[in-house]
Amino acid sequence: MNIKPLGDRVVTKMAEAEETTQSGIILAGSAKEKPQFAEVIAVGPGGVVDGKEVKMELKAGDKVIMSKYAGTEVKLDGEEYVIISQKDVLAIVD
């Protein structure tokens, strides 16, 4: 699979509602809500986005926390992804 986000976007794969990261953190999200935890799969090139220079801070493999209401859900090969602007990613967890 080859998916190339445009601009300041990243493609993320949603984490299960509860999972343990390598450092042992239990990431818990309500089973009924869209989970807020995800892993970055692909990162856009950044550059000028809406007239403003954007530098990408995220890289593939980052575990991130996202705003609940941001991003676009996309189904590819039977799996759920969320494509989201880097500015709507709140934090990196490791």
Q: Characterize 10-37 residue by residue with b for buried, 16 or more Cβ atoms within 10 angstroms of its Cβ, and e for exposed.
A: bbbebbeeeeeeeeeeebebeeeebbbb
The site map against its own copies for 68-87 (x = CB under 8 A) is x---x-xxxxx----x--xx
Binding test (CB under 8 A) with its own copies, winner from 16, 29, 34, 60: 29
Cα 61 from Cα 91, distance rounded (Å): 14
Q: What angle do CA 5, 7, 13 make, to 5 degrees?
A: 35
Is 32 among the residues that bind its own copies (CB under 8 A)? no
Structure-token pair, residue 12 = 């993320």
Binding test (CB under 8 A) with its own copies, winner from 5, 15, 38, 40: 5
What residues make contact with its own copies under the rule CB under 8 A?
1-7, 9, 11, 23, 25-29, 36, 42, 44, 48-53, 55, 57-58, 65, 67-68, 72, 74-78, 83, 86-87, 89-94
